[in-house]
Amino acid sequence: MIPKAIAAIEVLARLQGNWGDRSAYSEMADNWVETHKLQPSIALVQKAHLVIEQTLMENSELKELWQESEKYTAWLNSITDLKNRVK
């Protein structure tokens, strides 16, 4: 559930005009955002921040899995960047 929530939060950031990296992986979401000029509610943004905080907690299963990976630092930087782009 959390990986899907992180993807949804990425869409929220883009809807707010705070684009992250654009690539073939994000193309479908990028096209959707460009054609749907929506403004996320404050409540939805607050929920997004809660999910990010839960993801970064020490007892987060997702974080634990990434900590076992060689790409943990890149993942952590990516989540931190996302947190900073959702306003």
* Opening angle at CA 48, ends 44 and 54, nearest 5: 140
Q: State pTM to two decimals.
A: 0.88
Predicted confidence pLDDT, tens digits, the chain (87 residues): 678 999 999 999 999 999 999 999 999 999 999 999 899 999 999 999 999 999 999 999 999 999 999 999 999 999 999 999 999
CA distances for 65 relative to 1, 18, 57, 59, 85, angstroms: 14, 27, 13, 11, 24
Residue 19 lies in domain = 2-85
* Opening angle at CA 79, ends 43 and 66, nearest 5: 130
* Contact indicator for 12, 44 with CB cutoff of 8 Å: yes
Per-residue pLDDT, 2 = 76
In total, how many domains does the chain have?
1
